[in-house]
C-alpha cells in the first residue's frame, strides 16, 4: 500500500532535507512511498489532499500560518496525520488542538522522521473492519471509522465520509474485537479516540462536528484516553 506524503514548506533547504530523509527511509524500509511538495497553503488547498496519509506542515508560511490551515483541514474532515515543523516553540500547544501527530523544531532528524513514518505505516497495514449485512461484505479501514452505535440487535458503523454501514451483530460483540483506538463512551456507543476533537462535560465531539453523549460509567476513562492521545 502506498504511503502518500505531502511536504508543505516554503523554504527550499528544508524541503530538500525532508526529501532526502524520506528517500533514505523509503530505501531502508522497502516502502511504496509517494512524496508531493507544496510551497503555499493556496497550492495545497487546490489539490485533492484527502489521500495524503501524512502532511509535514510548516507553521510559518508566506500566505497563511500552518495552525490556521490545520484547523481548516480538520473542520473539512481531513483525517491524515499532521506533523508541524517550525522554529517557534510557542506553537506546540496549538498543534495538540488540531490532533497533530507530533511537533518538531527544524531541522527534523532522521530518527524523528522514522518515528512518524513507522506510525503511519502501522496504521495503513491492513487494519480493516469487515462489515457483513444481508450478503454484502464491506472492508472499512479503522482510520475512517468515527464511531460504532447500537441499534436493536445491529451495530451501525459511522465513517468520516458520512456513510453508515450496518453489521448484523450486537455492539458488545463488536467492541470485543476492536483495536485499542476504540473506546466505549456509552452503552450504545464506541468512539475512535483518534477522531475525538473535543470533550465538553459529558459530550464528545468527533471529526465533522457530530456530538455524542458520554455516560458517567465511562466518563473518567474517556477523559484519560483523550488526554493521552494529545501527548
Answer whether 123's CB lies under 8 Å from 4's CB.
no
> CATH number of the domain that 9 lies in?
3.40.50.2300
Are both 76 and 38 inside the same structural domain? yes
Are both 32 and 93 inside the same structural domain? yes
Position 174 confidence tier, pLDDT thresholds 50, 70, 90: confident
Answer whether 156's CB lies under 8 Å from 164's CB.
yes
Q: Cell 504511503 belongs to which residue?
A: 3
% of the chain beyond a pLDDT of 90: 53
Are both 107 and 152 inside the same structural domain? no
Q: Cell 500552518 belongs to which residue?
A: 66
Are both 117 and 89 inside the same structural domain? yes
Indicate the SS3 state at residue 164: strand
Give the span between the Cα atoms of 196 and 57, in whole angstroms: 21
- The residue out of 100, 124, 148 marking a domain boundary is 124
**174 vs 16: which has the higher pLDDT:** 16
Are both 115 and 151 inside the same structural domain? no
Are both 103 and 151 inside the same structural domain? no
Does residue 134 have a pLDDT over 60? yes
Burial call 193-212: b when 16+ CB within 10 Å, e when fewer: bbbbbebeeeebebbbeeeb
Are both 157 and 105 inside the same structural domain? no
Q: Burial, 145: exposed, middle or buried (Cβ in 10 Å; 0-12, 13-18, 19+)?
A: buried
- The residue out of 56, 89, 124 marking a domain boundary is 124
Check residue 160 and give its pLDDT.
92
- pLDDT tens readout for residues 57-112: 998 887 788 888 988 998 887 878 899 998 766 655 454 456 777 888 899 999 99
Packing angle of the helix pair 110-124, 12-29 (nearest 10 deg) = 60
Distances 153 to 21, 149, 214 between C-alpha atoms, Å: 50, 11, 21
Give the total number of structural domains in the chain.
Answer: 2
Which residues, other chains included, contact 118 with Cβ-Cβ below 8 Å and sequence gap of 6+?
Answer: none
The residue segments making up the domain with residue 150 are 128-229
Are both 116 and 132 inside the same structural domain? no
| Angle made by CA atoms 209, 210, 212, in degrees to the nearest 5 | 130
How many other C-beta atoms lie within 10 A of the C-beta of residue 130?
10
- Per-chain mean pLDDT for the chain: 88
Q: If we measure between CA atoms, which residue out of 144, 192, 152 comes closest to residue 168?
A: 152
Give the span between the Cα atoms of 146 and 122, in whole angstroms: 19
**44 vs 88: which has the higher pLDDT:** 44
- Can you tell me the mean pLDDT for 206-215? 95
Are both 37 and 147 inside the same structural domain? no
Which residues, other chains included, contact 76 with Cβ-Cβ below 8 Å and sequence gap of 6+?
Answer: none
Run of H or E including 157? strand 154-159
Does residue 227 have a pLDDT over 60? yes
Give the span between the Cα atoms of 68 and 150, in whole angstroms: 36
Amino acid at each position: 500500500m502506498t504511503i502518500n506524503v505531502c511536504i508543505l514548506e516554503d523554504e527550499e533547504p528544508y524541503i530538500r532535507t525532508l526529501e532526502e530523509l524520506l528517500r533514505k527511509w523509503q530505501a531502508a524500509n522497502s516502502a511504496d512511498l509517494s512524496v508531493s511538495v507544496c510551497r503555499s497553503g493556496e497550492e495545497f488547498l487546490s489539490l485533492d489532499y484527502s489521500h495524503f496519509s501524512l502532511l509535514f506542515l510548516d507553521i510559518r508560511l508566506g500566505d497563511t500560518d500552518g495552525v490556521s490551515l490545520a484547523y481548516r483541514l480538520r473542520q473539512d474532515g481531513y483525517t491524515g496525520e499532521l506533523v508541524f515543523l517550525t522554529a517557534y516553540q510557542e506553537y506546540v500547544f496549538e498543534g495538540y488542538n488540531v490532533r497533530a501527530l507530533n511537533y518538531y523544531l527544524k531541522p527534523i532528524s532522521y530518527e524523528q522522521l522514522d518515528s512518524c513514518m513507522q506510525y503511519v505505516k502501522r496504521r495503513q497495514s491492513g487494519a480493516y473492519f469487515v462489515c457483513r449485512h444481508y450478503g454484502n461484505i464491506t472492508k472499512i479501514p479503522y482510520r475512517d471509522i468515527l464511531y460504532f452505535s447500537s441499534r436493536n440487535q445491529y451495530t451501525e458503523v459511522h465513517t468520516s465520509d458520512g456513510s453508515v454501514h450496518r453489521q448484523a451483530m450486537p455492539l458488545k460483540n463488536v467492541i470485543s474485537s476492536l483495536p485499542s483506538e476504540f473506546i466505549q463512551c456509552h452503552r450504545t456507543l464506541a468512539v475512535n479516540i483518534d477522531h475525538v476533537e473535543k470533550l465538553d462535560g459529558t459530550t464528545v465531539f468527533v471529526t465533522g462536528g457530530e456530538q455524542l453523549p458520554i455516560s458517567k460509567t465511562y466518563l473518567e476513562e474517556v477523559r484519560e484516553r483523550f488526554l493521552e492521545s494529545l501527548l
